Amino acid sequence: MSSIFDYISRNFNTILEYAKNQFELILIVMGLALLIWVPTGLLISQRRSLAPKVMSVANFLYCIPSLSLFVLFVTVPFLGIGRKSAVLALLLYAMMPLVRNVYQGIVGVDKTVIEAAQGMGMNRLQIIKDILIPLAMPVMFAGFRVTMVMTASIATIAFYIGERNLGRLIINGLTRANFEMVIIGGVLICAITVLLDALLTIVEKRVVPKGLRINKQR
């Protein structure tokens, strides 16, 4: 245990930099994913003929090995080595869980609720905003959580394409048989994931009515 604290004291600034970069990468990807894939899920829930095609693309991208996708984007001139390639790869991986959960959440709303809203004179936009999205929010948040955990884990591999994040501690630690590095990197990745999950929990409590929340078994 003392060796771990010794390593931290000697390399504190480097560890802090890696943790900061890891956190930033996850936040950037999650922000872009919500802006792009949530509207996509809403769109195909209203135009269901598009759903099989969009979901096929999402499933195909999700099946590509992460390292292969990272390396593929590195060869693109305007992306290259570093954050741009990492963000694009992680953003494509986020498509499947986000689009799927938004779509399933919307189409899973009871049709009688929609018919009642139509009978009250609500137009399609009002139904989506005031009925469908609030009722689908628990399923959507489940997708947010899956995406966040997946992004946090795969982001570690971005070390191989030049991202200076906690993956460096784990991979270099394994290469050098330096288990202090491995433990510190693993613990910090878990801590960041738990922190982001806690933030999502706070947001969920504010936007999702208590009776609609999906109970999580801890």
Q: How many helices (H) and strands (E) does the chain have?
A: 11, 0
- pLDDT at residue 177 is higher than 80: yes
CATH of the domain at 76: 1.10.3720.10
- Identify which has the larger pLDDT, 81 or 94: 94
Phi, psi of 30, rounded to the nearest 5 degrees: -65, -40
> Does 55 fall in a domain?
yes
Q: State the pLDDT at residue 210.
A: 64
Distance CA 112, CA 107 (A): 12
Is 35 part of any domain? yes
% of residues, the chain, pLDDT over 90: 29
For residue 194, pLDDT over 50 is answered with yes
pLDDT tops 70 at residue 1: no
* Count of structural domains within the chain: 1
157 contacts: CB under 8 Å, gap ≥ 6 = 66, 67, 70, 167
Does residue 31 lie in a domain region?
yes
| pLDDT grade for 38, boundaries at 50, 70 and 90 | very high
pLDDT value for 212 = 57
pLDDT band at 214 (very low <50, low <70, confident <90, very high): low
Range of the domain at 36: 2-212
- Asked if residue 72 has pLDDT above 70, the reply is yes
Q: Quick: pLDDT tens for 124-166.
A: 888 888 888 888 888 898 889 889 988 988 888 888 888 888 8
Q: What is the pLDDT of residue 215?
A: 52
| Confidence at residue 218, expressed as pLDDT on a 0 to 100 scale | 39
User: What percent of the chain has pLDDT above 70?
Assistant: 94
State the pLDDT at residue 57.
93
What are the tokens at 28? 């950037």
Residue 217 is assigned to a structural domain of this protein: no
pLDDT at 2 over 80: no
**Residue 8 buriedness (CB in 10 A; 0-12 / 13-18 / 19+):** middle
Contacts 24+ apart (CB under 8 A), 109-118: 109/135, 109/136
- 218 within a domain of the structure (yes/no): no
